A and B are shown apart, each in its own frame.
Chain A
Amino acid sequence: MNIIACVKQVPDTEARIRIAADKVSIDEAEVSMALNPFDEYAVEEALRLKEKFGGDVTVISVGEDKAVTALRNCLAMGADKAVLLKDGAFSGSDSLAVARILAAAIQPRDYDLLLFGKQAVGEDHCQVGPLVAEILNLPYVTSITRLEIHEKAAVAHREIEGATEVFECPLAAVFTAQKGLNEPRYASLKGIMMAKKKPIETLSLADIGLSASDVGAEGALTKIKALSPPPVRSEGKVIEGEPAEVARELAKFLSDDAKII
């Protein structure tokens, strides 16, 4: 079973975010970056399936040189190979353009499963995995919490409002990982040492056979116009006192101000 997991390096979820001088991007200089948490579930699932069925696990990322850190992280967890898709022409890509880049790089490879995180925290567009599936004409299930692989078919669980949908689909297929799918492993010291020797292939626009008009700002259909700080919630009332007293005041607030009773 050959599996490709697509990953992204994102700002750490606890990091402070500052808007850059251009007002359309964030200042990444001082932000600590990490492997997207949902991608960790995808990589972990890929490794578990490899351990069960054999085959190899390739991780792919679209990014700049620093994204190598995220790829090395995946290699240290146990992935076999990594591919970095890097080209100046990729800059300004929206979800669809990123999906075109990934799909073009994945298309000639031998795979049974493509795994993604359900979304990349930060921009949270929640689109790239399904868009790659559509471009490659593959079935998909997003936001899965359970995956079983049988002979040529997969069964995946997906939470919806108040219930769980159980999907069945033939392979090859795309799945995007939600929290609950598994518990990602930590890279071992041995894994970290071995990761240094594993290959990371770098491919450019020309290598994957796309034209500049398909990708980057030129290929994008959406564009960030402005970033601004979030609206500040006006500070409310904070009280302290006897539990009975404060609870009664809260009940009064809920009925008189919030009008929920």
Chain B
Amino acid sequence: MSNAILVFIEQRNGEIKKASLEALSEGRRLADKTGGPLVALIIGSDLAGLTDKIAGFGPDRIMLADSPLLEKYSNEGYASQIAEAVKQAAPTILIMAFTAMGFDLAPRVAGRLQAGLITDCTHLEMGENNLLDVTKPLYSGKVVGTIRFTGKKLPQIVALRPNVFPLLEENLHKEPEILQIDTGVTDADVRCKIREILKPEAAAVDLTEANIIVSGGRGMKGGENFGMLQEVADILGGAIGASRSAVDAGWIDHQFQVGQTGKIVSPTLYIACGISGAIQHFAGMSSSKYIVAINKDPDAPIFKAADFGIIGDVFQVLPVLKEELKKLKAG
């Protein structure tokens, strides 16, 4: 049985996703266990400058699928490249990041290879015969599942929840071999194409990538008050989020929703303002490192999960907090 580990590295416009570096770090740890080579695959156009940015994470080999036709993401075009890399590297495990791209791409790859895929993984444990036991929260985090690959078909494909797996801290540069792969994919092979990418005028920190999230719920009383959260988020360099009730009330767009039917986030700090802490909300933020809650209701379930809770009125606490943070920031 092969013992190679293949990691798909996501880049957009030459920017490598942090979640992919986390995947590569986990790949390094697993490759040390299997004793096999760690292979990284980058797909896109004009990639030569990117190999240096990942070499420190210790890949033994870097494969590049570099073509103008791959400049824009498509699940069909990218899956063909990954399938080719799998053919060449014969990995026992294929690791991806469960980003927006990973969400779209991983099942296309799994279908094409007719291989098993486990998404939104929060922990990987190497078992016998290099078969993985994968931890994944289920039922909005009310249950933790351990899922095992049967090994009937390889590779085992895992998509890792961003911000959960630690980045390697030391430089493990191994002078990786650089290899070009080419599947000869043509424009006609890609039926579903990106026509354009719409960007909001003000570049905001994306919720799923934010290290700090300041989130508001029903206690914010109205959309106009989310500006207060934005001000605190701006001071901290974070993003704003919202509970389902705030979104359903029409106070803020659904793309800010955190929870079971919204986004899953794992920031270092999650500040819940006027959020009671319904179980479906926990599903989206319970893997945050620190949870802070500000709520008037002393019985709000959010306090059970909070590392630091304030029983109080957000409209009184936030303005003072804002000033205090400004002072601290100014040093």
Contacts and interface: CB of A to CB of B under 8 A. Distances in A.
B137 interface: yes
Interface string A93-125: 011100100000000000000000000011111
A41 B289 CA distance: 33
B133 interface: yes
A17 B148 contact: no
B104 A17 contact: no
A209 interface: no
Nearest to A155: B195
Given A162-B204, A225-B147, A139 B254 contact: no
Best-surrounded residue of A95, A163, A222 (most CB of chain B within 10 A): A222
Contacts of B308: 236-239, 250, 253, 257
B90 interface: no
B206 interface: yes
Contacts of A260: 211-212, 236, 268-269, 290
A255 interface: yes
Contacts of B253: 180
B261 A135 contact: no
Given A123-B138, A130-B104, A229-B143, A169 B193 contact: yes
Nearest to A236: B307
A149 B117 CA distance: 31
A37 interface: yes
B25 interface: no
A223 interface: yes
A219 to B, nearest CB: 9
Nearest to A181: B254
Nearest to B293: A238
Given A13-B261, A169-B193, A247-B317, A220 B140 contact: no
B1 interface: no
Chain A's interface: helix, strand, loop or mixed, by majority?
mixed
Interface residues of B, number: 97
B108 A237 contact: no
A169 B74 CA distance: 11
B312 A254 contact: no
B195 A254 contact: no
B111 A131 contact: yes
Contacts of A164: 197-199
A139 to B, nearest CB: 4
Nearest to A16: B142
A233 B43 CA distance: 39
A257 B269 CA distance: 11
A165 interface: yes
Given A163-B197, A166-B197, A250-B308, A26 B254 contact: no
Interface in B140-197: 140-150, 152-153, 191-197
A217 B76 CA distance: 29
Interface stretch (B29-37, B47-55, B61-69, B320-328): B320-328
A141 B104 CA distance: 7
A125 to B, nearest CB: 6
A158 B104 contact: yes
A170 interface: yes
A238 B118 contact: no
B153 A221 contact: yes
Interface string B289-307: 1111010001000011111
Given A13-B280, A130-B107, A246 B144 contact: no
A167 interface: yes
A240 interface: yes
A251 B321 contact: yes
A121 to B, nearest CB: 6
B310 A230 contact: no
Nearest to A126: B119
Interface of B: 73, 75-76, 99-101, 103-104, 106-108, 110-112, 114-120, 133, 137-150, 152-153, 191-200, 203-206, 208-209, 211-212, 236, 253-255, 257, 260-262, 268-269, 278-280, 286, 289-292, 294, 298, 303-313, 316-318, 320-321, 324-325, 327-329
The 4 closest A-B pairs by CB, nearest first: A134-B111, A221-B116, A247-B320, A130-B107
Given A220-B116, A250-B292, 17 more contacts: A16-B142, A17-B143, A123-B138, A134-B108, A159-B255, A166-B196, A221-B116, A227-B138, A227-B146, A228-B143, A230-B286, A236-B291, A238-B306, A239-B309, A247-B320, A257-B290, A261-B325
17 contacts: A17-B143, A126-B107, A143-B103, A157-B198, A165-B198, A179-B261, A221-B149, A221-B152, A222-B150, A224-B147, A230-B142, A236-B306, A238-B298, A247-B310, A251-B328, A254-B325, A261-B236
